[in-house]
Amino acid sequence: MIEYRNLRVALLGAGSVGAQVASLLLEHGDELANRAGAGLELVGVAVRDLDAPRTANIPRELLTTDAESLILGADIVIELMGGLEPARTYILQALTSGADVITGNKALLATHGPELFELAEQVGAQLYYEAAVAGAIPIIRPLRDSLAGDRIKRILGIVNGTTNFILDRMDTAGESLEVALATATELGYAEKSDPSADIEGFDAAQKTAILASLAFHTTVPLDAVYREGITAITIEQVDAARKAGYVIKLLAICERMTDADGVEGVSARVYPALVPRSHPLAAVHGAKNAVFIEAEAAGDLMFYGAGAGGIETASAVLGDLVSAARRHVIGGPGVAESTHANLPILPISRVITRYQITLSVVDQPGVLAAVATLFSEHGVSVETVTQSVQAGADPARPSATLVIGTHEASEADLAATVAALETSQVVRAVTSVLRVEGS
Ligand SMILES: NC(=O)C1=CN([C@@H]2O[C@H](COP(=O)(O)OP(=O)(O)OC[C@H]3O[C@@H](n4cnc5c(N)ncnc54)[C@H](O)[C@@H]3O)[C@@H](O)[C@H]2O)C=CC1
Ligand SMILES: N[C@@H](CC=O)C(=O)O
Ligand code: NA
């Protein structure tokens, strides 16, 4: 048995992920010590309630409600409490005391990341956060290290398990959003305190801010991420998408792009979009996550796996723990986050993509031409038109459904086109507007 120097590890929070981290660390400690080249001694677990039930057994003598004393005596602090405060204060205290910090807290990183990374750099400590995006899937380290020599063009990610589960159930089982959300909550995918974090796209937006900052070496603040959730998606849209060869996915999109005025910048956005069934992301079912990266030299890469779950996410945390311990053994300063590129963040109105618009129109001669004119007047080029005629209740006022696919157009031009369609005499209703991504 090799004798290693012991590193003191403090764990803050013993919920779904924290309890599994404690249990795996206690069970596999010797194995991890051999990999890290240092002993990993769990010196304490800060909890709110010493007697609360947990998903894994943690020896009672390790539990404490005094997080601050625990932090002060640690070489490595693992924060798995979630929320902004006191997590932010505890991480600042840990870094100030010289400890490396590991966290899965995407809300905190997306909101206060620059402050935390700046302090880590000042004191020569390291902040690890593999669990914060796409749970168990290695994505932070590949972007930060493996792809550091490449240029990322675009990331399309399914980074929220709850919404992917819901959209998948709507598509494959015809369930309503409400029924599928209840199952996702029961299965423990949805955020316990507030499922709107999932279905309104807040969780995905936090992860998008983190991914875009890393991919484009630029600080992308959370409020610069455009966000739409899935609450307006109807079963009719899901069915129509299937018939047209698409599937609707809530996508996290990080893109380096040049807008119509030639301004080069970064777009970070979250919305439900039509993805062709032939795209690898269309095959991501249930609560699974996947991150599809288009890089200049490496080409297309896809990272797939469990984006949520206690033990799955604990795997990412323990990977960070081994990395942190190795750095303690080897020594040297922490690596700073690279934000040197300092690119402007483009607003949603500057984004250029493709769209599919569904209209209910009056079925009479000249309607198609009138609709096509509205598109061209606003600079949006039509690629495909599909028409179907409905019998309707009133034979004197027949209706038709037009599904119009566009070439690439800017959000601003598309919005102006939709506004014009909504007031047109020949259009009864604009029933669906969806972006098309991944083709
Ligand atoms: N559960 C998942 O699948 C994933 C979670 N994460 C992130 O990991 C972190 C932890 O998530 P979960 O374990 O799911 O949350 P959880 O809600 O199950 O656990 C958090 C625990 O921290 C405790 N806690 C809160 N404030 C505390 C305080 N001041 N002092 C001591 N204990 C405190 C709570 O009592 C609770 O037991 C969050 O930041 C979450 O966003 C990231 C990826 C996936
Ligand atoms: N609620 C989140 C959990 C992981 O981050 C999700 O559904 O993906
Ligand atoms: Na991850």
- Nearest ligand by distance to the CA of 136: 3
- Nearest ligand by distance to the CA of 312: 1
80 within ligand 1 shell (Cβ under 6 A): yes
Atom nearest to 184 CA in ligand 2: 7
14 is in an annotated binding site: yes
As given in the structure block, the two tokens for residue 69 are: 């004393």
Same topology for domains 6-134+311-330 and 140-307, yes or no?
no
97 is in an annotated binding site: no
The tens-digit pLDDT sequence of the chain (439 residues) is 678 899 999 999 999 999 999 999 999 999 999 999 999 999 999 999 999 999 999 999 999 999 999 999 999 999 999 999 999 999 999 999 999 999 999 999 999 999 999 999 999 999 999 999 999 999 999 999 999 999 999 999 999 999 999 999 999 999 999 999 999 888 878 877 678 999 999 999 999 999 999 999 999 999 999 999 999 999 999 999 999 999 999 999 999 999 889 999 999 999 999 999 999 999 999 999 999 999 999 999 999 999 988 999 999 999 999 999 999 999 887 777 888 888 999 999 999 999 999 999 998 889 999 999 999 999 999 999 999 877 655 666 778 999 999 999 999 999 999 999 999 999 999 999 999 999 8
CATH number given to 140-307: 3.30.360.10
* Residue extents of the structural domains in the chain: 6-134+311-330, 140-307, 351-436
- Strands 288-295 and 152-158 turn out to be antiparallel
Q: Which CATH number fits domain 6-134+311-330: 3.40.50.720, 2.40.170.20, 3.40.50.1980, 2.40.160.210?
A: 3.40.50.720
Atom nearest to 197 CA in ligand 2: 1
- Nearest ligand by distance to the CA of 132: 1
Distance of alpha carbon 336 from alpha carbon 221, whole angstroms: 18
- Among the options 207, 243, 249, 288, which is catalytic? 207
Whether the CB-CB separation of 329 and 341 falls below 8 Å is answered with no
207 belongs to the catalytic site: yes
How many Cα atoms sit within 13 Å of 300 on the Cβ side? 10
162 within ligand 2 shell (Cβ under 6 A): yes
* CA–centroid distance, residue 309 to ligand 2 (Å): 8
Which CATH superfamily groups domain 351-436?
ACT domain (3.30.70.260)
203 within ligand 2 shell (Cβ under 6 A): yes
Greatest alpha-carbon pair distance for the chain in Å reads 89
106 is in an annotated binding site: yes
Whether the CB-CB separation of 10 and 44 falls below 8 Å is answered with yes
135 within ligand 2 shell (Cβ under 6 A): yes
As given in the structure block, the two tokens for residue 432 are: 């669906």
